[in-house]
Every structure is written in structure tokens, then in C-alpha cells.
């Protein structure tokens, strides 16, 4: 049993190693954004069941704290690291517009 646990642990470590290595290769500003945005996305998916007004207020507070400004920050980082494929790949995992509808051009 002990060997089975040890083997399972090693398999998990080896399978997660590329993810940790990729995170370590990211520039500090990108890594900070990724952490913030992952927290934001987590709370965006939280809905109390059954509905609870107090818990919903807490979720909304966290969303405001973690998500505000991330649309602009994501666009800024994509421009800044336009030639870095590792960074662009990681940033492409996030939705571009979560704070407001995407800008539309006026049709005339």
C-alpha cells in the first residue's frame, strides 16, 4: 500500500511538473496577472445553491476586487509580449472581455 501511494505521488509530480515549469518561465507581471485572473474566474463561476444573499454579496465583492481592470491588463500584456509565444499561449487561455461587452464598431 505504501509503495502504491508513493508511485501515485510520483506520477502526480511528474504530470504537474510541466505546468509549474511553465509558470516559472513567465515574467513576473504575467505570473501575477495569471494568479489574479484565475482567482477572478473562480469567483465568476461561484453561485450559492440554494441562493444566499450574504454569500452572493461576498462573491460580488471578490469579483469586483479581482476582476476589475483585467480586460485592459490582459490586452496590455498581450501587446507587451506579442513576440513571446509562451506568454501569449498562456494569456490566450483567458477571455478577452469579462468586464463589459466587447467594443463594437458603428455600422454606417
Residues 76-86: tens digit of each pLDDT: 999 999 999 99
pLDDT in tens, 19-76: 444 456 899 999 999 999 999 999 999 988 888 899 999 999 999 999 999 999 999 9
* 7 occurs within a structural domain: no
* 99 occurs within a structural domain: no
**Which range marks the domain in which residue 83 is found?**
26-91
Report the predicted TM-score, pTM, of the whole model to 2 decimal places: 0.69
* 6 occurs within a structural domain: no
Contact of 37 with 69, CB cutoff 8 Å: no
* 20 occurs within a structural domain: no
* 31 occurs within a structural domain: yes
Count of domains observed in the chain: 1
Q: Which three cell numbers stand for residue 24?
A: 516559472
Amino acid at each position: 500500500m505504501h509503495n502504491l501511494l508513493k508511485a501515485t505521488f510520483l506520477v502526480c509530480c511528474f504530470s504537474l511538473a510541466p505546468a509549474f515549469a511553465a509558470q516559472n518561465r513567465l515574467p513576473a507581471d504575467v505570473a501575477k496577472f495569471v494568479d489574479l485572473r484565475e482567482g477572478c474566474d473562480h469567483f465568476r463561476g461561484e453561485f450559492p445553491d440554494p441562493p444566499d444573499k450574504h454569500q452572493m454579496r461576498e462573491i460580488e465583492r471578490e469579483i469586483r476586487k479581482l476582476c476589475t481592470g483585467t480586460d485592459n491588463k490582459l490586452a496590455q500584456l498581450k501587446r507587451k509580449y506579442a513576440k513571446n509565444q509562451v506568454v501569449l499561449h498562456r494569456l490566450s487561455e483567458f477571455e478577452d472581455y469579462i468586464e463589459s461587452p466587447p467594443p463594437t464598431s458603428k455600422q454606417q
